[in-house]
Amino acid sequence: MIDYIDTQIALQIIKIDNNCQLVLIDGFNRIFNKDPLKASRNIFFINNIGQVIWRVFSKNDRFGDSFMNIYKIQDEYKAYRWDGGQYGLNIQTGEATPEILLK
C-alpha cells in the first residue's frame, strides 16, 4: 500500500485547493514495484504533506494500462490512459469512469 507520495516524482500535479493535489505518477515508476496492476492505478489525491487520501480505481483497470494525463475541463477532472480512453475522475472517491475513446 502506498501511503505517501513525494511530489518530486510526479509527472503532473493539479492543485485542488490549499490542502489537496491531484498527482499523476509515471506507470513505470519504481514505487509500483513493476506490478502492472498497481501501475494502472497511478493517479493519487494527496494532502499538502503528501499523505494519500485516495488512489484512482476503475472497473476497467487492466494490467499495465496506466494513465498518461490528468486535466480539468470546466469544473470536472479528467484523465486518459495510454490506449486513448478518457475517464471522468470523481474527486471525492477516486473512481474513474470511462467516457469516450479519444483515438
- Given a cut of 70, is residue 90 above it in pLDDT? yes
* pLDDT recorded at residue 1: 82
- HEC string of the chain equals CCCECCHHHEEEEEECCCCEEEEEECCCCHHHCCCHHHHCCCEEEEECCCEEEEECECCCCCCCCCEEEEEEECCEEEEEECCCEEEEECCCCCEEEEEEECC
Mean of pLDDT values over 6-33: 95
pLDDT digit string (tens) for 41-81?
Answer: 999 999 999 999 999 999 877 766 899 999 999 999 999 99
Mean of pLDDT values over 34-39: 89
* pLDDT recorded at residue 61: 78
pTM given for the model: 0.93
- 103 pLDDT tier (thresholds 50, 70, 90): low
Mean pLDDT of the chain: 93
